[in-house]
Amino acid sequence: MSDIYVTGHRNPDTDSIVASMAYAQLRNALGDREYKAVRIGAINDETQRLLDHFGVEAPPLIKNMRTQIADVEYDPTPALNSSVTIHLAWLTMGSGSINVVPIVDDSGHLFGMLSAGDIAAFDMHTLNENHVDDVPVFNILSVLEGTLVNEYKLDRDSVSGEVYIALPLHYQDQALTSPDSILICGDQPEIVDQAIAAGVNCVILCRADVRPEWARSEKTVIISTPLSARQACRLVYHALPVERIGKRSDIIAFHLRDYLDDATDIMLKSRYRSYPVLDENDQVVGTISRFHLLKPRRKQVVLVDHNEAAQSVPGLDQVEILEIIDHHRLADIQTGQPIRVRNEPVGSTNTIITAMYQEHGVVPPPKIAGLMAGAILSDTVMFKSPTCTRRDIAMAERLARFAHVSLEDLGKELFSSGASDGKSSEELFKTDYKQFHISGQNIGVSQITSADAEHLLDRRDEFLTVMKKEQKAKEYDLVILMITDVLQEGSYLLYVGSDDTIRQAFGVEPQDKQVFLPGVMSRKKQIIPMLTALWG
């Protein structure tokens, strides 16, 4: 079974990152299928401090959720080494009803492709051309189930020549007088003696007695087989290595990481029935055909801390959403079938997930409990945000006991430095940035929470430049930056857009694209609702 991905939103905050980790931990603890926490954006400074505090690594980054070749139930077709016989390849195809097999070199890398049509075309060619070159003796012994009569006298490993059957008689003279011959005969000792005396390249004895003196031959390869002359004649050609007849040029191959829609476009423009599939080391793992495109297996995803398509993972339309756990307004994500949705009016997604641990009788490990407590502190701004509920506080206190940490000390550490002097204004702006579509208006709102807002306001002009660029690029009606001060318990708003919108929505007089809103700590509960009321 494939992993089920648990992911938060783009530009993830601490609540989003920890929620994905905590929920994956819970599901795996319950013995469900393998749940895997991932992220779809960079880790911000606050989240990294929390992860470092508990010695936990961040979830791996994924760029999108588009369906890949790895998500398709491709055929695990056996790959054949380029040295194996055509006979073995044919048997392999027949045993598995396979029309095409990949050919690989000694390192397992793709060498070519062999189809049943290639073998059929080769067989038709041999009806008029009965010469074979450099057929390995080992290969002939294998396909004929034979033994080498003069094994201890030969110093060569391959044979070449025109293939003859000793009957009818008018072939015998040419076969016996030419050293460049591979002679197939039955129990005909006189003919064998003549052929050895003439130094023919190879004699194949079909269901015949072997005379002791033949084992002393040093020039002619003598092989004894229990097969009939008719069978031996066809199988000599099939003793050739598959590399001689397989297709080696213009091969189209796909990697497991390739996206299915890209592969589909390529397949529809080519004429091949089957295509090799390679792993990250370029090793062949199977084949894929147009048939596999009809019903691809989609990635399965659990969304936490968001339910809006614009904030979710790219390629969301190609995944199967199994569940949503969130504490924001319901937005625009649609599913093809009923799913579990848990949306509660609390200050943090981790508060909801803590309740789910409790409901299942699972105690989170100390490190996870500490991360969850920190995430609740972060999203409720140390319980000062209007989104904070008594339930958030109770759950955070319980988690802190599990983790053996002080909520006060953990909160101070989280908000000790909301910005990094080493980061550009654009990096800071995009750290916790969300896009919203409200009554035909498109807006972007970023939030930076700090205990030192004045330090950030010194970079006011830099932020406004970034915001103007964002507005122009995305054609937004309004772009806002909330600089939330934990100590002042309020937020400074920098904005690019209409002064009237800010004036009417928040009842303040803007000055030079800036206002201060005392008591405003939450984007979700105080900024977006006011704009929605204005435009609704």
The tens digit of pLDDT for each residue in 400-459 reads 999 999 999 998 888 875 445 678 999 889 888 989 988 889 999 999 988 778 888 999
**How many whole angstroms separate alpha carbon 488 and alpha carbon 326?**
28
The domain boundary residue, chosen from 415, 441, 472: 415
Claim to verify: residue 443 and residue 356 sit in the same structural domain: no
Q: List C-alpha distances in Å: 505 to 36, 188, 475, 533.
A: 41, 107, 21, 8
Residue whose entry in the numeric block shows the structure tokens 């094994």 = 151
Claim to verify: residue 402 and residue 332 sit in the same structural domain: yes
What pLDDT does 1 receive? 53
Claim to verify: residue 388 and residue 443 sit in the same structural domain: no
Cβ atoms of 233 and 205 within 8 Å: the answer is no
What pLDDT does 170 receive? 47
Helix (H, G, I), strand (E, B) or coil at 148: strand
- Stretch (H or E) spanning 484: strand 478-485
The domain boundary residue, chosen from 389, 415, 441: 415
Q: At 237, phi and psi to the nearest 5? A: -65, -35
Residue 125 lies in a domain: no
Domain of 525: which CATH number? 3.10.310.20
Domain range for 474: 425-535
Count other Cβ atoms within 10 Å, centred on residue 168.
7
Q: The whole model's pTM is what?
A: 0.66
Claim to verify: residue 447 and residue 531 sit in the same structural domain: yes
Residue 359 lies in a domain: yes
Cβ atoms of 141 and 157 within 8 Å: the answer is no
Task: Please state the domain count of the chain.
Answer: 2
Cβ atoms of 530 and 510 within 8 Å: the answer is no
Claim to verify: residue 399 and residue 365 sit in the same structural domain: yes
Q: What is the largest CA-CA distance in the chain?
A: 117
Name residues of the chain where pLDDT drops below 70: 1, 96, 167-177, 417-421
Domain of 404: which CATH number? 3.90.1640.10
List the one residue out of 11, 67, 66, 70 whose CA is nearest residue 39. Answer: 11
Q: Please give the structure tokens belonging to residue 98.
A: 């396979």
Mean pLDDT value across the chain:
90
What pLDDT does 166 receive? 83
Claim to verify: residue 310 and residue 395 sit in the same structural domain: yes
**How many whole angstroms separate alpha carbon 234 and alpha carbon 162?**
13
Q: How far apart are the first and last CA of the chain?
A: 46
Residue 76 lies in a domain: no
DSSP for 33-69 reads: S-EEEEBSSPPPHHHHHHHHHHT-PPPPB-S----BG
The domain boundary residue, chosen from 382, 415, 448: 415
Claim to verify: residue 437 and residue 498 sit in the same structural domain: yes
Residue 57 lies in a domain: yes
**How many whole angstroms separate alpha carbon 451 and alpha carbon 412?**
9
Q: List C-alpha distances in Å: 506 to 454, 499, 502, 535.
A: 22, 11, 6, 13
Claim to verify: residue 309 and residue 411 sit in the same structural domain: yes
Residue 293 lies in a domain: no
Claim to verify: residue 440 and residue 380 sit in the same structural domain: no
Return the axis-axis angle of helices 116-126 and 86-96, rounded to nearest 10°.
Answer: 140
List the one residue out of 380, 402, 363 whose CA is nearest residue 327. Answer: 380
Q: Please give the structure tokens belonging to residue 368.
A: 């996870």
Residue 141 lies in a domain: no
Residue 243 lies in a domain: no
Which residues have C-beta within 8 Å of that of residue 459, sequence separation ≥ 6?
425, 428
**Residues in the chain, overall count:** 536
Claim to verify: residue 408 and residue 434 sit in the same structural domain: no
Residue 522 lies in a domain: yes
Claim to verify: residue 407 and residue 433 sit in the same structural domain: no
- Residues β-bridged to residue 112: 103
Claim to verify: residue 393 and residue 472 sit in the same structural domain: no
Cα 156 to the center of its chain, rounded Å: 49
